[in-house]
Structure 1
Amino acid sequence: MMGDDDTGRLTRAGLNLIQQALSIFDSELRLAVCNRQYQLMFDLPDALTRSGTSFEATIRHLVERGEYGPQPDIEAAVQVRVEQARAFAPHYMERTRANGRTISVEGSPLPQGGWVTVYTDITEIKRQEGMLRAHSAELSDQLLAHAERLALANRALAATNAALEEAKRELTEIEARTRQVTEMMPAHIAHMDRDYRYTFSNRRLSTVMPGSLSDIVGVPVAEALGPDTFARIEPELARAIAGEATVFEITHSPSGRRIRIALTPDRGADGGVSGVYVLSTDVTHEAQARAALAQSSKRELAAQLTSGLAHDFANLLTIIMGLQGRLARTAALPPDAAELARATLAAARRGGTLLDRIAAISGVRELRPQPLMIAPFLTELAAMARPTLGEAVVLETSVEGLGLPVLLDPGTLQDSLLNLILNARDAMGSAPGRIALRACPVRDTWVEISVADSGTGFSAEALERGLEPFFSTKGGEGSGLGLSMVYDQTKLAGGAVRLENRPGGGARVTLRLPLRPAATATAPRLVLLVEDSDEIRAGVREMLRGMGHTVIEAASAAEARELADLPGIGLVLSDINLAGAETGVALARSLLARHQELPVLLMTSLPEGHALRAGAPCTVLSKPVSEAALMALLVPGVAA
């Protein structure tokens, strides 16, 4: 491989073979490159041919030597030429030097700034022209002058052509770089005309919207996107053609992805719109996060609204159950009154159960996603559910295309699917029937898990209101919170729930959850665990060992600092509040200063805004530390 110095020497050697003088000055008016002919033509000292020599120094040397004839004010003559260089423009000129020789000077600007100048000694050409004029009396002075002007024009034209070729080359390079940049972007960038036909595309459409065409230049938008997607964006396209910029989001039905589309009118010099610039971006993960955050906010608000009422209601139920219990135990109570007391107690107990279900919906619940194999999970779920279905109901499971673990919360997913299976059983009544539990991926975006039954299907009202809290088709037997809990847990995970009737009869409920492949466990590490509480240290140690890591322990910062120098330490996990004067934050800073490549994590029960926690130089885990939170940091791709 040739180095920069070798390339520079080859370049200079090649330039020295050129019979013309050449110099290149940069945008700061400093010499970048020149050849040997440049020094010989102007008889320059070596100091003025070195890279970095200022243009002003070179001009001053030439003016003082009389290169430009007698100058009454040398400094003014130098400054005039320097200012001309600062406002450099392409030019061609011919001038006679003080030594009597004539040279042509051709200058062209460079795209990076600065300019290149080529000097040609045309003394012999001028002498031949003079001889021709002197010895060709038969040629008119007018013809000779015309020939001289033509030669001058040809030389100037050649210089202009060279500048145009350089500009063309630069434009070609700019266009190639622009296309390369647009094709590297994780978004579809395009332009279409007023007839909704693509005139430019960075060939990323099929990546952002799988199933769409890839080579779409010259293709109508409806054909490239498909009729369904085009119908959804056509009103926005019309607004953009009318001159209104717009940004909106759609769900791309074939892939299930959430797409954000920005449309910008292409306005001409006259202000008219000749087309539309299109920027389409896949925001599926962002939409999933927004949905989960919105559901979490609604849960928090619901918890705030219901907690006080639930507390008071629970107190009232406690009083009612106590009084009715005493009344039911009265020996002389008439049979009718005893039956009323027992019915009142049953109603109160059911009210308590209802409070528990409301708390399950509105209370704070932390998602604990972990690597989950779908097929074994559904097999175990079916084995758990079959005894409750009876012999007349057949439960089938089917999994397609999910052979690798994905990140899901098995607890909430199991609760949701059991709820749906029992609802399907109730929908079929005592008649024989079939329940199908199926799972499959939707592109690389979603995991779809459906529960379908062979019952009578949803009523029109149930399809519209089935996910609302307290809506029930079971009369007094149902709380109306089953599907609502399924909806809540699915939305909290960033997913969606769909209710529908099957074409052949029966109902189907589909859960669509984010498809996040789970990374395999990292290679075992030697972890230095720093914690002054024996109980907490023992709990965290068992979590780390359960993940396959080896643990050594320290109870103070001083002890940890000595152990950190042991060979093979792959991670330091320390509490912030440690016994002694030194905190975990100070320990982390000193370890990172000594071992810049050593991963360091801190854990604490201090709140987010605490100054000591805010000053940590690394990631901080909140106590109590969960196994999911640890795995999120130690295994790439796992979310806490």
Structure 2
Amino acid sequence: MQHRGRWLEFAARPLALPRQRFAGVWLTLRDVTERRRAERLRTALDAAREELLRKEKRAALGGLVDGIAHEIGNPLGVAVTAASLAQDQLHELRASFEAGILRQRDMRHHLQQALAAADMALANLRRAAALVAGVKQIALDSSEKVREDMSIGTYVSTVVASLSSLSSGTPHRVGVDVRADPVVSVCPAALAQVVTNLVHNALTHAFPAGRPGRVVVWVDLVAGGLVEIGCRDDGVGMSAATLLRIYEPFFTTARDQGSGLGLYIVHNLVTDLLRGTIVARATPERGTTVVVRFPARPGDS
């Protein structure tokens, strides 16, 4: 009960004496004001934290939607403009042909302009398609969330081997170092996407044109029963300012070579599906290392 701004806890229990069934009642009255205040404060803090999380999620979703609209809108806008230019050139070509005034020089000019515009439209449509595919990877469907028991080192080696086309025709080398090969329970699709994006990101951003490099993916079992998957390159590295932004959606240092969703997707997969952590370290001209750690069994997280 509450009395004059204080919370009091009242309790009563029978008082028994030898050879007597009932000798009275034992009454206790205790001041629990501080405990009630602490409970109220804890409840208020929990509510405030939940509201803050909701606001952060709404803000993140709003930022993601704005980013998607902006990033996909740009290539689509360029594609529409290029297609319109190609159409104009072809209309002029047809008009000259039907009027009987088409010269070889004019035909060559119109065809060159139309082909250049078509190439530009196609390149930007492919970029938009890649962005859409990247966005779809952010939320894996339920079939991709199924866990399986597998030898993690063997599986990662298989995934990296399947990525040979990424480095074929380049001076770069991609290797695997299996330091441990424990059987773990993991989402295969999520793990494959993580490894693929890490390797692709390294090959795309670490080595400028003409500079050969090496990418190494390793698998290990570390303290606490955690699986460790790392990706290290000997490329150009990155600045501290860039390192702070690598998990932001659509942030990229090579706009013409990627969507900027690779590490954002990796971060989501590691923290949500694999229930682990991801840490990146980089120094300009000394390469980049990304380390992912997650529990071998879901119940360990």
Question: Is TM (by shorter chain) over 0.5?
Answer: yes
Q: Secondary structure at the match of 2:224?
A: coil
Residue 319 and residue 443 in structure 1: after superposition, are their counterparts in 2 closer, same or farther (change >3 A)? closer
Q: Which amino acid aligns with 1:461?
A: A
Paired amino acid for 2:166: T
8 Å contact kept, 2:216–2:233: yes
What is the DSSP-based 3-state SS (H/G/I as helix, E as strand, rest coil) of the residue aligned with 2:163? helix
TM-superposition CA deviations, 1:234-255 (whole Å, max 9, x none)? xxxxxxxxxxx9xxxxxxxxxx
Is residue 237 of structure 2 the alignment partner of residue 457 of structure 1? Answer: yes
Would the alpha carbon gap of residues 505 and 638 (structure 1) be closer, same or farther in structure 2, given more than 3 Å must change? Answer: closer
Aligned CA distance change for structure 1 residues 416 and 324 (closer, same or farther; 3 Å): farther
Task: Say if 2:228 is the partner of 1:434.
Answer: no
CA distance in 2, matches of 1:499, 1:461: 13
In 2, the alpha carbon distance for the partners of 1:402 and 1:387 equals 25
For 2:227, the equivalent position in structure 1 comes to 447
Q: 8 Å contact 1:369–1:638 — kept in the other structure?
A: no
Closer, same or farther in 2 for the Cα pair 1:474/1:307, shift >3 Å? closer
Residue 396 of structure 1: aligned partner: 175
> Aligned residue for 1:357?
134
2:272 aligns with: 492
- 1:381 paired residue number: 159
Amino acid at match of 2:199: I
Equivalent residue in structure 2 for 1:408, among 175, 183, 186: 186
Structure 2 residue runs without a partner (length 5+): 1-14, 26-37, 39-49, 94-106
**Cα 1:448/1:347, change in 2 over 3 Å:** same
Contact 1:317 1:348 in 2 (8 A): no
Shift of 1:449: 0.8
1:303–1:359 CA contact under 8 A, matched in 2 = no
1:419 aligns with 2:193: no
Alignment of 1:511 with 2:289, yes or no, is no
- How far residue 318 of structure 1 moved from its aligned partner, in angstroms, is 12
Tell me the alpha carbon deviations over residues 171-192 of structure 1, each in whole angstroms, 9 at most, x when there is no partner. Answer: xxxxxxxxxxxxxxxxxxxxxx
Q: Partner amino acid for 2:172?
A: V
Secondary structure of residue in 2 paired with 1:423: helix
Query: CA 1:374/1:313 → structure 2, altered by over 3 Å: closer, same or farther?
Result: same
Count of equivalent residues: 235
Distance 2:58 2:294 in 1: 19
CA distance in 2, matches of 1:407, 1:299: 33
Contact kept in structure 1, 2:207 and 2:236, CA below 8 Å: yes
- Distance in 2 (CA, whole Å) between partners of 1:512 and 1:436 is 16
Structure 1 residues 298 and 371: CA distance shift in structure 2, 3 A? farther
Give 3-state SS (helix, strand or coil) of 2:162's partner.
Answer: helix
* Counterpart contact for 2:233–2:288, Cα < 8 Å: yes
How far did residue 499 of structure 1 move?
A: 1.3
Say whether 1:501 aligns with 2:278.
Answer: no
Shift of residue 335 of structure 1? 4.5
Give the 3-state SS of the residue equivalent to 2:244 in structure 1. helix
Comparing 389-398 with 325-334, greater Cα deviation is found at 325-334
Other-structure match for 1:579: none
CA change 1:325–1:492 in 2 (3 A) is farther
Q: Output the amino acid matched with 2:279.
A: R
Q: Say if 1:410 and 1:474 are closer, same or farther in 2 by CA, change over 3 A.
A: same
> 1: CA distance between counterparts of 2:251 and 2:265?
12
Q: Shift of the alpha carbon at 1:508?
A: 0.6
Deviations, residues 199-247 of structure 1 (Å, cap 9, x unaligned): xxxxxxxxxxxxxxxxxxxxxxxxxxxxxxxxxxxxxxxxxxxxxx9xx
State the SS of the aligned residue for 1:428: coil
Contact 2:277-2:293 within 8 A present in 1 as well: yes
- CA gap 1:392/1:336 in 2 versus in 1, 3 angstroms: closer
- 1:151-230 → structure 2 map (5 Å cutoff): none
Which residue is 1:468 aligned to?
Answer: 248
Equivalent position SS for 1:467? coil
Shift of 1:413: 1.5
C-alpha distance 423-301 of structure 1, shift in aligned 2 (>3 A): closer
Q: How many Å apart are 1:487 and its aligned residue?
A: 1.6
1:444 is paired with a residue whose SS is helix
Larger Rg: 1
Q: Does structure 2 retain, via aligned residues, the 8 Å contact 1:370–1:407?
A: yes
What are the within-5 Å matches in structure 2 for residues 253-264 of structure 1? none
Report the Cα distance in structure 1 between the residues aligned to 2:123 and 2:237, rounded to whole angstroms: 32
- Greater mean deviation of Cα atoms: 449-458 or 491-500: 491-500
Question: Residue 370 of structure 1 contacts residue 638 of structure 1 at CA under 8 Å; is this kept in 2?
Answer: no
* Aligned-residue RMSD, C-alpha: 4.4
SS of the equivalent of 1:353 reads helix
| Counterpart Cα distance in 1 of 2:287 and 2:221 | 23
Q: Could you tell me how far apart the structure 2 residues matched to 1:419 and 1:327 are?
A: 40
1:322, distance to aligned residue in structure 2 (A) = 6.6
Q: How does 1:565-580 map to 2 (within 5 A)?
A: none
Pair 497,299 (structure 1): closer, same or farther in 2 beyond 3 Å: farther
CA contact (8 A) 2:235 2:288 kept: yes
| Structure 1 residues 357 and 298: alpha-carbon distance in aligned structure 2, compared to 1, 3 A threshold | farther
Tell me the TM-score normalised to structure 1 length. 0.31
- Specify the code of the residue in structure 1 equivalent to 2:202: A
Select 2:123's aligned residue among 335, 339, 346.
Answer: 346
Matched residue SS, 1:450:
strand
The offset of 1:425, in angstroms, is 2.3
Q: Aligned partners of 2:63, 2:154: CA distance in 1, in Å? A: 35
Conservation of the 8 A alpha-carbon contact between 1:497 and 1:510? yes
TM-fit CA distance, 1:486: 1.4
The alpha-carbon distance between structure 1 residues 425 and 443, as it changes in their structure 2 partners (threshold 3 A), is same
- Percent identity between matched residues is 25
The alpha-carbon distance between structure 1 residues 308 and 515, as it changes in their structure 2 partners (threshold 3 A), is closer
Distance 2:58 2:221 in 1: 28
Deviation at 1:442, TM superposition (A): 3.4
What amino acid sits opposite 1:431 in the alignment? R
Q: CA 1:325–1:303 in structure 2 vs 1: closer, same or farther (change >3 Å)?
A: farther
Could you tell me how far apart the structure 2 residues matched to 1:304 and 1:475 are? 17
CA distance in 1, matches of 2:253, 2:149: 36
1:351 partner letter:
A
Question: Is the Cα–Cα contact under 8 Å of residues 502 and 508 in structure 1 kept in the other structure?
Answer: no
Counterparts of 1:500 and 1:488, CA distance in 2: 18
Alpha-carbon distance between aligned partners in 1 of 2:219 and 2:164, rounded to the nearest angstrom? 18
Question: Does the Cα contact within 8 Å between 2:227 and 2:296 map onto a contact in 1?
Answer: yes
Relative to structure 1, the CA distance from residue 300 to residue 337 in structure 2 (aligned partners, 3 Å threshold; closer, same or farther) is same
SS at match of 1:457: coil
C-alpha deviation, 1:453, in angstroms: 1.0
The question of whether the paired residues in 2 share the 8 Å contact of 1:328 and 1:341 is answered with no
Q: Residue by residue, what CA displacement relative to the aligned partner does 1:82-126 show, whole Å, maximum 9, x if unpaired? A: 96xx89xxxxxxxxxxxxxxxxxxxxxxxxxxxxxxxxxxxxxxx
Deviation at 1:387, TM superposition (A): 3.8
